[in-house]
C-alpha cells in the first residue's frame, strides 16, 4: 500500500503536548496515512500568530489549536478559511460541556495545567527519586517508593519507571539477574506496590540482540541465548507467583499501556493499604 501524507498544524498557547497527543492518536487510526507535523507552542501574541498563519498558508492542511485567550482563535480560524485549511479548537467542545455542567465561566488561563503548584513539585520529587533508584540503586530506602518494578533485563523497567514518575509516583526498579540475590530490604517493604514485568523469550532475545549490536559487544553470550533467556523468564515468573506479586506481560504493550495498567493496580493497592 502506498503511503499518503498530509500537513498537520498544531497551534498552542502552551507546550502543545495536548495537541500532539490528540493529533497522533487520531492519525494513528488511518492506515497508510502519515501526518507531517508542524508544532507551534507558546503562541500568545498577534505577531507570533502571524508567523504561524504564514506557515499554514505555505503548506495548507489540517489545523488543530488550543488558544484560550483573546481573539487569537478567531483570527486563526479566519486565516484558515482563506487558505482552505480545516480548523478545529480541540478544547472548545470540552469547555462547552464543562461550562454547561458546572455553570461557571472559563478562566482562560493559557498553560494552566502546567502551573507550579503542589502537584508539579510532587512530580519533580518523584522524578528525582526514580532516577536515583534506577536499576537497583539505593535499595536501603525501598519503603519510600510508591511502586517497585521487577523483571529480567530488557523488560522496559527504566522507561516505565520514568513514565510513572512523570505521573507523580516514586518508582524504583530492580533487575532480576541469574545468580544475583535481590536486596534483603525487599522482603520488609509494606507500603509500595510491587509489580513483576515479563515478556516472551523471543521478544527479550530480539531486544537484547539489538542492544548488543548498538554496543558492538560480543554476541557469544548466554545473554541472548534463547534457552537461557527462557529459563530467566520462567524463574522470574515463579518468583512473582511465590510472592503473590501482580504481573504484566509487556511483550506487545507500549510503555504507556504498561504504565496505565500499573496505575490501575496502584489505585487498588492504595485503597487496600489505607483500609488495613
237 is in an annotated binding site: no
What is the spatial distance between Cα 170 and Cα 149, in angstroms, rounded to a whole number? 11
**248 contacts 261 by C-beta, under 8 angstroms:** yes
- Helix orientation angle between 157-166 and 255-275, rounded to the nearest 10 degrees: 60
What is the spatial distance between Cα 206 and Cα 251, in angstroms, rounded to a whole number? 11
Place of cell 488495613: 276
**154 contacts 200 by C-beta, under 8 angstroms:** no
130 is in an annotated binding site: no
33 is in an annotated binding site: no
158 is in an annotated binding site: yes
**126 contacts 137 by C-beta, under 8 angstroms:** no
Query: Of 41, 162, 89, which Cα lies nearest the Cα of 147?
Result: 162
253 is in an annotated binding site: no
What is the spatial distance between Cα 185 and Cα 196, in angstroms, rounded to a whole number? 17
Three-class secondary structure of residue 206 per DSSP: helix
154 is in an annotated binding site: yes
Binding-site residue numbers are: 151-158
Binding-site residue numbers for ADP are: 151-158
Amino acid at each position: 500500500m502506498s503511503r499518503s501524507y498530509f500537513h498537520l498544524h498544531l497551534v498552542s498557547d502552551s507546550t502543545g503536548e495536548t495537541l500532539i497527543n490528540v493529533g497522533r492518536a487520531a492519525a494513528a487510526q488511518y492506515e497508510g496515512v502519515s501526518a507531517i507535523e508542524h508544532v507551534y507552542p507558546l503562541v500568545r501574541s498577534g505577531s507570533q500568530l502571524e508567523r504561524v498563519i504564514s506557515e499554514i498558508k505555505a503548506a495548507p492542511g489540517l489545523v488543530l489549536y488550543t488558544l484560550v485567550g483573546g481573539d487569537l482563535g478567531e483570527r486563526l480560524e479566519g486565516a484558515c478559511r482563506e487558505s482552505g485549511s480545516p480548523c478545529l479548537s480541540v478544547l472548545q467542545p470540552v469547555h462547552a460541556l464543562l461550562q454547561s455542567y458546572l455553570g461557571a465561566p472559563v478562566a482562560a488561563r493559557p498553560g494552566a495545567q502546567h502551573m507550579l503548584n503542589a502537584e508539579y513539585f510532587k512530580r519533580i520529587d518523584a522524578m528525582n527519586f526514580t532516577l536515583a533508584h534506577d536499576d537497583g540503586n539505593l535499595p536501603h530506602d525501598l519503603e519510600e517508593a510508591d511502586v517497585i518494578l521487577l523483571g529480567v533485563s530488557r523488560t522496559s523497567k527504566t522507561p516505565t519507571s520514568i513514565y510513572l514518575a512523570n505521573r507523580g509516583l516514586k518508582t524504583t526498579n530492580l533487575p532480576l539477574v541469574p545468580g544475583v540475590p535481590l536486596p534483603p530490604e525487599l522482603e520488609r517493604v509494606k507500603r509500595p506496590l510491587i509489580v513483576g514485568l515479563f515478556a516472551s523469550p523471543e521478544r527479550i532475545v530480539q531486544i537484547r540482540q539489538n542492544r548488543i549490536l548498538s554496543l558492538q559487544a560480543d554476541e557469544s553470550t548466554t545473554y541472548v541465548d534463547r534457552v537461557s533467556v527462557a529459563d530467566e523468564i520462567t524463574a522470574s515468573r515463579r518468583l512473582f507467583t511465590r510472592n503473590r506479586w501482580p504481573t504484566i506481560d509487556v511483550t506487545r504493550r507500549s510503555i504507556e499501556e504498561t504504565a496505565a495498567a500499573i496505575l490501575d493496580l496502584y489505585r487498588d493497592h492504595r485503597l487496600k493499604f489505607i483500609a488495613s
